[in-house]
Structure 1
């Protein structure tokens, strides 16, 4: 059957595939739009599979609140400029809202959730074919709160860092202030009580040897070590850190001054802990010249 320009445009708008690919698929499908879409997806998924070994360490982190639940999600791509792609941003937003609403138990369950008629995993592969970069939902966390609690969120640099804070009492403005602090200072624990005993013991031993090597008198070494351990704990524990917006108080004191209690926080920084692709510019130029 004859394929019209309107059909070609409609399928291109839907799939973002090339004009000749769209026309070929429509001809093969005898004008059936759904079948043609599936044909394009099949070809696209083959291309996506070839990218499965690529490093996806860029992307965006996002936060969505759904009643008393909130999700923080990281979705990766291969290059940083993909973060400005509207299709990628819409995908990240959709995934985050879906996870917040459904509260999956783990990543496998999250990837199986429905997103506009296909699973999140299928949607990621479809987007990989469209954008031409490996798209990967890397991780997520879902936090829940009581009716009297407050969520606060902050996205730094458009989503390169995302922070979700939960307060008991207080208000969203206070929670957001704490979230901004977490984004900037990156505390390791909520309080010093959360520091594992083995980590505390390890640091104490290091400070003890360090102090001995400085030639300090034996009798004052325990007091010096105690001071250094306390300083270290105050640097890694959110409640004990100097508040970035007012260094005259700690974060714990700031939250208390607002009639609130800090219950927890989550901080995602895009690509943290991942190997990032190093581009060899000279090799790229040579490759282009071939």
Structure 2
């Protein structure tokens, strides 16, 4: 006589590798591409602080979480490991759930974004909510490990035939992205524009354009220093010729720990770029550099800059 529990014996395995099927080939392909992109970008963000770095622990301490070392490790693991699993479509639902918790804290607790505000951490959060609900889909490694496959429309792609794409495609995408990144020309300011001065305006000087003027130390290299009285996150922008319509920010920044670096973006005159952020671990003096040749910037402790 069959045991009534036999049908649920592997229920947890089915849930671990489960996923909802889209109603068409186009829908499955769209979910697949979005999942791979999301997983790779989150994994790259987590790689910079995994297993744990001191500045990330300091951020967790500032949020008031208990056991900050453990919480920081779990958060970085949810990005690095969870992002990799998400890209492969393996254990997609739990990977998306835990990475979503981290992004939710980053967006709504750390950055204090309002609901619906355009911010990269919040965008990741809502995408992860989607994949927590949908799972990896039929083009995923989850599809290979499912004990039973849910009935789907005849237009949906067969799991057995297309699931290997979940392993090959992310690798190809990473290679293409790296090649594109190496070949892409660096952004440049208008060569006809005359830069007479650059102000560092931020939360540490009440966004004053005259407090922290940068000095041109090389052909296109500008530098300055600023002081803070306490540890915490600061925000700033570079303002050219005291004109807020000509400011440089960074809308793609994810990591804010020191040294904070990235590629600044020229504003279109409508305040279209986000403030650059840096988490300063202690009170003191900090150095900022901006290279106008490629718009790269860097924030670090003044002692480190001197070395």
Calculate the TM-score normalised by the size of structure 2. 0.26
Higher-Rg member (1/2): 1
Q: Give the structure with the higher percent strand.
A: 1
Q: Give the structure with the higher percent helix.
A: 1
